[in-house]
Amino acid sequence: MPSFFKRSLLPKLRGFPLTPDAIDVLSGADAYRRRLLALIPQATRRIYIVALYLQHDEAGQEIYDALHAAKAARPELDIVVVVDWLRAQRGLIGAGKQPGNSAWYQAMTQRHASEVPVYGVPVQTRELFGVLHLKGFVIDDTVLYSGASLNNVYLHKFDKYRFDRYHLIHNQPLADSMQHLVEHGLVASKAVHRLDLPNPPTTRSLRNDIGDLRSRLKHAAYDTTTGQLPNGHLSVSPLLGVGKNNPLSRVILELIASAQQQLTICTPYFNLPLPVTREINRALARGVKIDIIVGDKTANDFYIPPSEPFKVIAALPYLYEISLRRFAKRHQPMLDSGQLNLHLWRDGDNTYHLKGMWVDQRYTLLTGNNLNPRAFRLDLENALLIDDPQGQWLEPRRTELAQIFQHATRIEGYQQLQTLVDYPEAVGKFLRRVSRVRIERLLYRIL
């Protein structure tokens, strides 16, 4: 590990031992939905669902119904659903005034004799400044880890899908650790309340409790006391982070700094924090080959076709493309040599939501962290780091990467990416306006 990390975390991470056959990599969103629906009725002890949101649509209804059916069949089953407090109480962006998913949760609780509590976690008093971005479902001793939330497109219920990563890890200590954090670090907080019951408290009334929860989370961590320090064997380490210089962000930087031959990075929103850019530049300087796979702007979940009315949120994919073009222009010699490879992912009208890193032939990071300033400073994030020092898990790793690259096209040069003059008129007008008043830098920090 480079000496400039004075308090290196990577060698001190405790991990839970794994066997290669304890990790399943699913092929896509449809397979993920079907596996989730197969595991829920088989649960005998616990189901802990943690997601940014559980959406009131056909796929969300299917999951929620399955949870109620499982509880009705086994009343002793411990079922907990945890979502972001603020996200659950508003409608979809750009869809006008809506009651939000919390009204649906309340209707479901009134309709069923079985009880499936839905807890809202307020990471901040305003959604703009931080949300619950934790990932991972615990079903008995299996952890299903994906960046996907629960709705039609994330679960490929109909014709469109949002491409993510989908891993099942069969490991009781890991499942216990993740449940313990949800149960004792989140649900037990005075700031956390059920959204499936009538008249939840207002966010304003919870301001002090929310501040206390955020302060506690800055010092929280998954319990890995039963784990082992790196010992040359396959293992998985859960990581948690919120706020500036958090442990997860530090480990991400250390992973990039540890790369010696190959580094692959996925992010849907190209807006790298400055420390990440610095570590990438250092990796390039020491000869590491780097692949970065991002979504084409038309594969961004905020993209709105020019034929539809302009909304401010539709400018985001173009901001990310501007950031990518600047990065590509600065690194054009590395693109020419093939040491740096930038890839745009696109598959028809589908969208791209992949996050994570592959470091040399050893580390694989599963995470919902977008590798952007918001993830490094505002949102509550987590990750699972798979350490494979003996190369026991290389084939499934290669298979997943091959699937990701299937719809990715390499950028030969920065000139391939559009500029402001190429954008739709309404988009160009908005971006020129925010650039003139110097709001652009602020937007990059919070979006």
- The residue among 91, 296, 342, 120 whose CA lies nearest residue 213 is 120
- The residue among 160, 153, 439, 407 whose CA lies nearest residue 315 is 439
What pLDDT is recorded for position 5?
61
Interacting residues of 278 by C-beta distance below 8 A, sequence separation 6+: none
- Write the pLDDT tens digit of every residue in 308-338: 999 888 999 999 999 999 999 999 999 999 9
Q: List the catalytic residues.
A: 133, 164, 353, 381
Return d(Cα 288, Cα 142) in angstroms, integer: 35
Residue with tokens 């990471």: 123
Phi, psi values for residue 336, rounded to 5°: -65, -40
**What percent of the chain is helix, strand and coil (3-state, nearest 5)?**
40, 20, 40
What pLDDT is recorded for position 446?
58
Full set of structural domains in the chain with CATH? 21-218 (3.30.870.10), 235-446 (3.30.870.10)
Cα torsion 100, 103, 107, 110: sign: positive
What pLDDT is recorded for position 433?
86
Degrees, nearest 5: CA angle 145-263-259: 110
Degrees, nearest 5: CA angle 40-41-45: 75
The structure tokens listed for 332 are: 């054009």
Return d(Cα 386, Cα 20) in angstroms, integer: 11
What pLDDT is recorded for position 6?
63
Residue 81, beta-bridge partner list? 49, 118
What pLDDT is recorded for position 2?
43
What pLDDT is recorded for position 159?
97
Per-residue pLDDT of the chain (447 residues), as tens digits, is: 444 566 799 999 999 999 999 999 999 999 999 999 999 999 999 999 999 999 999 999 999 999 999 999 999 999 999 999 999 998 765 555 567 999 999 999 999 999 999 999 999 999 989 999 999 999 999 999 999 999 999 999 999 999 999 999 999 999 999 999 999 999 999 999 999 999 999 999 999 999 999 999 999 999 999 999 999 999 999 999 999 999 999 999 999 999 999 999 999 999 999 999 999 999 999 999 999 999 999 999 999 999 999 988 899 999 999 999 999 999 999 999 999 999 999 999 999 999 999 999 999 999 999 999 999 999 999 999 999 999 999 999 999 999 999 999 999 999 999 999 999 999 999 898 887 656 666 666 656
What pLDDT is recorded for position 37?
98
Residues 344/406, Cβ–Cβ less than 8 Å: no
Phi, psi values for residue 290, rounded to 5°: -125, 130
Residue with tokens 């069969």: 170
Return d(Cα 320, Cα 268) in angstroms, integer: 9
